[in-house]
Amino acid sequence: MTLLELEDVTASYGHAQVLHGISFRVGENAAAGILGANGAGKTTTLRAISGMVATGGKITYDGRDITGYRPDKVAALGIAHVPEGRGTLGDLSVRDNLRVGAYLRKDRKGVAADLDLCLDLFPNLRERIGSNASALSGGEQQMLAIARAIMAKPRLILLDEASLGLAPSTAQRVYQAIRRLRSEQGVAMVVVEQNAMLAFSVVDHAIVLETGKTSLSGSRDELMGLDEVRRAYLGG
């Protein structure tokens, strides 16, 4: 079953059009990747889904046309966006950041269970539960941003450059948790990532963007087998 579908989606900032007809699908419990160089339109694609940029074409989520929805309405439908730059609330503790993620929920037992899940996925956060987010390392802040998204109990998570600025070992730990989240909780994902090896460790299929257009698309194995993908993204 298709959970998210983009059909000929365009997006603009003022008079500057950034996306020029992007189309892809994400199935229930599936994961799609978006690869591309800086400025290719990867982040804008996630912003289009979240309602953060002027958008044309059609975006369908769970059978509903959500094109043009406000970000708060998109979030209320079960789409969580982890933006590039993390966006944690520095003056709040780790615990309170996680509680903010669950602010729309009424199921107190479920919230408590998901808090335990987050601390199991990211043991560093358990150790820093009372610390202000501003005191965390970059890797811990990224873990907190993902955990806060989990607390919203989403059906779909949009991940924007989760490894950006992290040491390789820290990026591996973050993606290990992302893989666990998908396999154990069945959360669908759209993963924007410059480190293609990390992205391919999570996603089933991917598209490659060039200047706001889809230049390649296919399954993970198909794309990993292409010379141009290996040269550009896999160091081959």
**Domains in the chain, CATH or no CATH each:** 29-49+72-233 (3.40.50.300)
pTM, two decimals, is 0.92
Q: How far apart are CA 180 and CA 140, in angstroms?
A: 17
Q: Phi and psi for 138 in degrees, rounded to 5?
A: -60, -40
User: pLDDT tens for residues 57-101?
Assistant: 999 999 999 999 999 999 999 999 998 866 677 678 999 999 988
pLDDT digits 0-9 by tens, 14-61: 999 999 999 999 999 999 999 988 889 999 999 999 999 999 999 999
pLDDT at 88: 74
- What would the pLDDT profile of 94-135 be if each residue is shown by its tens digit? 999 999 888 878 888 989 999 999 999 999 999 999 999 999
Does residue 236 carry a pLDDT above 60? no
Tens digit of each residue's pLDDT (9 = 90 or more) over 140-172: 999 999 999 999 999 999 999 999 888 999 999
pLDDT value, residue 234: 67
Name residue 93's beta-bridge partners. Answer: 132
Asked if residue 34 lies in contact with residue 207, where contact means CB atoms within 8 angstroms, the answer is yes
Beta bridge partners of 218: 206
Strands annotated E in the chain: 2-13, 16-27, 31-36, 54-61, 64-65, 79-82, 156-160, 188-192, 205-210, 213-219
* DSSP letters for 151-220: TT--SEEEEE-TTTT--HHHHHHHHHHHHHHHHHH--EEEEE-S-HHHHHTT-SEEEEEETTEEEEEEEH
* pLDDT at residue number 16: 93
pLDDT at residue 195 above 90? no
- As a whole number of angstroms, the distance between CA 205 and CA 52 comes to 25
Mean pLDDT of 199-203: 94
Q: Is 38 exposed, middle or buried (0-12, 13-18, 19+ CB in 10 A)?
A: exposed
